[in-house]
Chain A
Amino acid sequence: MKYFPLIWATLWRKKTRTIFTLLSVIIAFLLFGLLETVDYAFSHPSGGVTGADKLITTNKYSITLSLPFSDLQQIRSVPGVVAVTWFTWFGGYYQESKNFVFAIPIDSDTYFDYHKDEFIVSDAALKDYASTRTGALVNVALMKKYGWKVGDKVPLHSTIWTQKKDGSLDWTFDIVGTFDVKDATQASAQSSTLLFHYELFDEGRSFGKGNVSWFQERVSDSAKSAAIAGQIDALFANSSDETKTQPANDFALTFLKQLGDIGFVVHAILGAVFFTLLFLTGNTMMQSVRERIPELAVLKTLGFTDGKVVGLVIAESLLLCVIAALIGLGLSYAALPVVKIGLQGVQLSPAALIPGIGVAVILALIVGTPPALRASRLNIIDALADRR
C-alpha cells in the first residue's frame, strides 16, 4: 500500500492520455453492463428466482391450439398439484393497436390461489369484483398509464374474440378495483395486466367455447415437479389433444429463445469491443512505460528488484482498468431504468454486472504484462544513457 502514491502519480503522468484511455475503458464497460444484463434477462425469465414450483400445460404440438376446459378436473386430481388455473389469450388493446393491454379472463378463486401471496389486492376490491359480472381488476401501473379511475367503463378491442351477441370485437369492462404485485422484480411483467371474469368471456364469445390456451399448476414440492409433469401428460396421452407440461420458467425461456440467439449477438459485440480495447489500453500502457524508462532505471538503481518493478507496472494497469470498469458498470446500473422502458416485460438483474470486475482484472493483466516484462528486463546502464 505504501507504493500507492507512486502508482497514482505515474498513472497521471500524461493527464490527457490517461483520461482518454479511462473514458474508452469506461465506455466499454458501460456496454458490457448493458448488454450482459439484457442477455441475463433473456436467459433468466423471472429474474432467476421465483417460480420453481410452477408448471404449465400446453397443447403438445402447437401453442396456438387450445385444450378442452374439461381437462381441469383430471389435472386437479394429480397428487402434488395444489392449485390449477387456466389462461386464454385475449389479444386486447385499448383504442389503438399499440396500446397493448394484457387482459386475462380469470376465475378469481383459482387464479388467486395459483398466485398465492403474489398480489396486493384489497378485500373490498375482491368483493366488488365478485359481485360485478363485467368487473375488472386493473394493475396500478396500467391505471396510471391511461388515467383510468375505479368506476370507469373501459372498452377493450380483442383482435381474436368476437362477441356472440353482436359479432363485435369490442368488450367493455367496469373497473371495480386495482391490484399491485408484491415482488418488485415482477412489476414490469405485470404492468399491463387487466383481470376480468372468465365466465363473462366464455359465455360471451361466439366460438371456441369451453377451450383454453393452457393450464397453469402450482405443485407442493418443486423437487417433484418433473414427475408431476409426466403424470399430467400421461393423462392425455393418445387423446386428440395431447399435452406438454413443463416448468413455467422453461416455457418462458423457449419463447425468449425464439427471438434468436441473443447470447451470441451480445457476446460477438462484446468480443469486438474488448478486442479493440486490448489494443487501445495496451498501447497506452506500452507508451507510458516507454516514456518512463529512465525513471524505472533510477528506481532499479535505488534497489527496486525486477519483481517490484513488474508489480508497479501491473498495479498501474490494474488501477486504470478496475477504476474504469467500476465507473462503467456503475453507469450501466444507473441506465437500467432506461433499458427497462425499451424492453417491457423483461426482468433486469444487476447480478449480470459482477463478472465485469473479473473481466477488468483479466484485461489489466493482459495489457500490463508486456510493458511490465519490458520494464523488468531493463538494463540500467543503457536506460540511464537513454540508449533504447
Chain B
Amino acid sequence: MFKQVFAVISMSLQTLPQRLGASSVIVIGIAGVVAVLVSVLAMAAGFRHTLSDTGRADRVIILRGGSDAELNSNLTRTDVDTISNAPGLAKDSQGKALLSSELVTVVNVPKMDTGTDANVTLRGVGLKLTEVRPELKIVSGRMFRPAVREVIAGAGAAKQFRGLAPGSVLHLRNADWTVTGTFTSNGDVHESELLADVDTVGSSLERNGYSSAVGLLTGADAFTAFKDALTTDPQVKVDVQREPDYYAAQSKQLTKTINIIGNTVAIIMAIGAMFGALNTMYSAVAARGLEIATLRAIGFGAFPVLVSVMIEALLLSLIGGVIGAAVAWLFFNGNSVSTLGGAFAQVVFQLTVTRALIVTGIVWALFIGLLGGLFPALRAARLPVAEALRAA
C-alpha cells in the first residue's frame, strides 16, 4: 500500500514540470493571499509591539479619575503633591519621590513623506525624568535644559516627521523651540514623542497644572498599596494604573480593527485562490487521466491516486505560502510607519513579521491547498478506468 502511494506520488511530482503553467496558478495565487495576510497582520503586530513595550510593571501612571487618556486629564499641583507622598514610590538619594509630573499636548508637525500636518505628542516631563525612565538614552545631540525652550525628539518621530533633527527650530504658540537631541527608549511609544521641561511647556501653553504623573515604585508588588492609598484619599480623585495596562488598553482598539480588516481581506482573497487551486488541480487530473487510468488498470488502488493528487496540491500551496511569507518579510518587515494612535496623536511603529505570523500564513496556504485539492483528488480516485483509457 505505502509502496503504491509512494510510487504514485513520485510519478505525479515527476510529471509536474509538464504542467508548470497551470501549477504556477496555485503557487502565485496562494503566495498573493499569504503576502497580503502576513503584511497586514504585521502592521497590527508592530503596533501592539510598540505599545506593549511601553512601560514597566513597577511604574505607574496617574490620571484624573474618569479621564481615559492623558490628553483629557487634568491634575492640579496639589494633586501631584498628594501623589508624591503616597506610600510605595521609590526615592532618590535626597529622599525625593521618583515622580515625573507631565503635561501632554499635541503639536502640528508635517509628515516626512507627504508634508501634511500630523499630531505629534509634546510631553512636558519633570526633572526626575531620567530616574523615572532609565531606559531613555540620548543618541545624538544633548538633553534639553529646564527653563529654556528646548525639546528632544524620539528616534521614531525624527524619522517620520520633518524638522526634528538636532539644531532645528520648532514653533509652538508664539515661541520658537530648539531641538537639542534625539533619544531612544527601547522602541516604545515615547520614541514617537517630543519631550521638554514640563514647567516651560506649561508656561508657554498658559496652563497651570498637569495632565498626568508617572512614578517609579519600589517594586511591582508595591502597586496595590500605592493605588489603595490614592483611591481612598478623599483629597484627590484619580485613576491609578500600571503603565503596561494603560498602554495595552490604548492599543487594543486599533490592533483589533487592523486584525479584522486583514483577516476579512485575506478570507475573500483565499476564497478566490481556492477557486484557482480547484481549476489547476482539476486540469492536472484531466491531463493525467491516461496515466491514472493506466495505473488503476495495472492494479494500483484508488487511495494512492487520491493521496498523490492531495500531496501535489499541498506541496504547491506550501511553496506558495513560503513565497508569500518571504515577500511580506522582504518588503515590509521593519518598515517604519505611523498612525493616529488611541490617544489622538501619532504613534510611530515598525511592521513586524513575527515567526507566529509566518506560521499562520503557511497554515492558511495549506488549508487553501487542502480545499482546492480535495474534490479533484476525489474525481481522480473515482475515474472510470475503461472510459478514460478509451478517450485517450
Contacts and interface: CB of A to CB of B under 8 A. Distances in A.
Interface of A: 16-17, 20-21, 23-24, 27-28, 30-31, 34-35, 60-65, 91, 97, 157, 159-160, 162, 167, 169, 207, 238-242, 254-255, 257-261, 265, 268-269, 272-273, 275-277, 279-280, 283-284, 286-287, 342
Nearest to B22: A283
A62 B106 CA distance: 6
Nearest to A159: B72
6 contacts: A16-B279, A24-B279, A160-B72, A162-B74, A258-B346, A287-B22
Given A27-B272, A160-B72, A254 B67 contact: no
A77 B206 CA distance: 28
B25 A280 contact: yes
A139 to B, nearest CB: 23
B162 interface: no
B8 to A, nearest CB: 23
Nearest to B344: A64
A contact face: mostly helix, strand, loop, or mixed: helix
Contacts, number: 145
A103 B107 CA distance: 24
B: contact size bracket: 35 or more
Given A63-B106, A279-B25, 4 more contacts: A24-B273, A240-B173, A272-B35, A276-B276
B28 A240 contact: no
B338 A27 contact: no
B275 A30 contact: no
A292 to B, nearest CB: 15
Contacts of A239: 174
B157 interface: no
Contacts of A17: 279, 282-283
Contacts of A265: 40
Given A35-B265, A259-B340, A276-B276, A65 B173 contact: yes
Interface in B332-384: 337-340, 344, 346
B105 A64 contact: yes
A276 B282 contact: no
A283 B21 contact: yes
B342 to A, nearest CB: 11
B228 interface: no
B74 to A, nearest CB: 7
Contacts of B29: 276, 279-280
Contact of A61 (B40, B107, B278, B340): B107
B172 interface: yes
Interface centre among A16, A61, A167 (most CB of B within 10 A): A61
Interface stretch (B116-124, B180-188, B218-226, B311-319): B116-124
B119 A63 contact: yes
B322 to A, nearest CB: 16
B290 interface: no
B68 interface: yes
A352 to B, nearest CB: 16
A336 B363 CA distance: 30
A61 B118 contact: no
A241 B173 CA distance: 6
A66 to B, nearest CB: 10
Contact of A20 (B31, B113, B116, B276): B276
Given A31-B269, A258-B339, A275-B32, A280 B276 contact: yes
B116 A238 contact: no
Nearest to A262: B339
A268 B237 CA distance: 48
A64 B28 contact: no
Most B Cβ at <10 Å: residue of A62, A255, A260, A284: A62
A381 to B, nearest CB: 24
Contacts of B32: 272-273, 275-276
B147 interface: no
Contacts of A28: 272
B4 interface: no
Contact of A63 (B31, B108, B173): B108
A65 B339 contact: no
A20 B283 CA distance: 12
B330 to A, nearest CB: 14
Nearest to A253: B116
B68 A62 contact: no
B138 interface: no
A241 B271 CA distance: 55
B352 to A, nearest CB: 16
Contacts of B294: none
Contact of B174 (A238, A254, A268, A342): A238
Nearest to A31: B268
A65 B276 contact: no
A169 B279 CA distance: 62
A30 B265 CA distance: 10
B388 interface: no
Given A27-B271, A159-B69, A241-B173, A65 B346 contact: no
B14 interface: no
Given A61-B107, A162-B74, A269 B276 contact: no
A64 B174 contact: no
Contacts of B69: 159
Interface string B110-140: 0001101111001000000000000000000
Interface string B1-32: 00000000000000000000110110011011
Contacts of B118: 254, 258
A375 to B, nearest CB: 17
The 3 closest A-B pairs by CB, nearest first: A27-B272, A276-B32, A159-B72
